[in-house]
Amino acid sequence: MIIENYFKNKFENFKIPDREYKKSVKFIHASDIHLGAAQYRNEFRSNDFVQAFQEILELAITNYADFIILGGDVFTSLEALPGMLTKIVNMLKDFMDFTQRSILIIAIEGNHDIRKFSRGVRFDRRGQSWLKLLNSLGLICLLDTNLKASSEEIFNPYNFKTRRGGKIQIKNVVVYGSGYLGEKPIQQLSKIRKAIIKETGLFNVLLLHLGIEGQMENVPGINLEDIQPLKHRIDYLALGHFHKQYILEDWIYNPGSSEAASVMDSSYKRGVFMVEISKKLETFVKYVTIFRLNNRRYVWKTVNLNFEVRKKDKLEFIIIDKLRNSLSNIDVKIHPSNPRMPLLYLVIKGIKPSYKINEKDLRDKICENLPILDVKVYQKFSESLKTLDQYIVA
């Protein structure tokens, strides 16, 4: 739930610092927020992704960040519902009003932001995204390149009137950004490298939506060797795309998704980076702090049936009774909006019941009786008990 004047009410005594006298530059690097995601079509689960974004904005305020960079997949698709989009717009307006627009939000489009398919329907008009809408409203600065232009014009300075451009300079930090380049962007990366100027006294950040090969098992990515030519012109390569957090060679940074979009994500180290850049003599010094966000809990539980259950209510009683004991540490009065109320992944093993389990009914019954937001059921039974008749030879 997004409350009107949320930031003003939460940070009542907060004073916006005079950034002109601050010697260092601080920014937050986040990615893969997936606003609009609705795991299991659960409204509270959908709001978890908005809450994660709100927490990122709060971190920017409390840590006196100069700007925020978002490495793509800010939205999960073009299919965000009107109510969800209104909530996000109002939150960003509230943030901008409270901070007096002193903290820029700089973003690029990821493959999900511009995905052409949603629930099997093709979007015929390309080039659309909700990030473009937020950019046109002045709530973010959306960076992109013109890779068909000459090297000098690939990264034009961001124009706050036309709301277009490929780079923004904040003090002595220059942020370059390009939208999603596809699965094999080797040629585009070569053009990008040639277009970036490495000037003395400036710290270069490049914002891209791509993954490095080998960082996630069975997920394709770019070979690290193909990225290396950028190192001579880039001080901080800010990535998005892979939901697992990683840091390579102290110049390639991927924060991971801000909220788990799948059960696999819940096992990964994820979060956001707080980066502080300061200058000592002629050298830049970089400090990176990792923040873990207050995400929804994922809980795995196994119930083993050691006899054949023949009635639905009996099975529900057995499962709920066993779960109640193992989940006794959760406050029964917890509200579903609280991320401490977990998602349950339930594995049922042992002897298969004599009837077909209705997983929806079982899920509803568990959520009705226990402090669980939602349940995913996995049936891993052995063979059913054999009746005596099967052993009688005619």
Measuring CA to CA, which residue among 209, 93, 89, 107 is closest to residue 158?
A: 107
Q: Chain-wide mean pLDDT for the chain?
A: 91
Between residues 114 and 2, the one the model is more confident about: 114
Phi-psi map region of 293: left, alpha, beta (phi>0 left; psi -120 to 50 alpha): beta
Helix, strand, coil percent values for the chain (each to nearest 5):
30, 25, 45
What residue ranges define each of the domains in the chain, with the CATH number in brackets? 6-291 (3.60.21.10), 298-390 (3.30.110)
Phi-psi map region of 165: left, alpha, beta (phi>0 left; psi -120 to 50 alpha): left
Which residue bears the tokens 């779960």? 323
Question: β-strand 25-30 against 246-248: which pairing, if any?
Answer: unpaired
**pLDDT (0 to 100) of residue 16:** 74
Give the range among 2-6, 73-77, 188-192 with minimum mean pLDDT. Answer: 2-6
**pLDDT (0 to 100) of residue 392:** 45
Segment 291-303 shows an average pLDDT of 96
Q: Is 82 helix (H, G, I), strand (E, B) or coil?
A: helix
Q: Around 389, how many Cα atoms within 13 Å sit in the side-chain half-sphere?
A: 0
| Tokens coding 161 | 């009137």
Residue 393 has pLDDT above 50, yes or no: no
CA distance 310 to 312: 7
Segment 59-64 shows an average pLDDT of 96
- pLDDT by residue (tens digit) across 246-289? 999 999 999 999 999 988 999 999 999 999 999 887 899 999 99
Question: Which residues lie below 8 Å from residue 234, measured CB to CB, with a gap of 6+?
Answer: 196, 204, 205, 206, 251
pTM here is 0.91
Per-residue confidence at 18, pLDDT binned at 50, 70, 90? confident
**pLDDT (0 to 100) of residue 299:** 95
Find the distance separating the first CA and the last CA of the chain, reported in whole Å: 68
- pLDDT by residue (tens digit) across 165-180? 999 999 999 999 999 9
| Tokens coding 88 | 């996000």
Question: Which residues lie below 8 Å from residue 294, measured CB to CB, with a gap of 6+?
Answer: 51, 55, 339
- pLDDT by residue (tens digit) across 327-383? 999 998 999 999 999 999 999 999 999 889 999 999 999 999 999 999 999 999 886
Burial per residue of 9-18, b for 16 or more beta-carbon CB atoms within 10 angstroms, e otherwise:
eeeeeeeeee
CA distance 141 to 167: 10
Residue 124 has pLDDT above 70, yes or no: no
Give the range among 11-20, 268-277, 382-391 with minimum mean pLDDT. Answer: 382-391
Helix axes 312-326, 359-369, angle to 10 degrees: 40
Give the count of beta carbons closer than 10 Å to the beta carbon of residue 36: 21
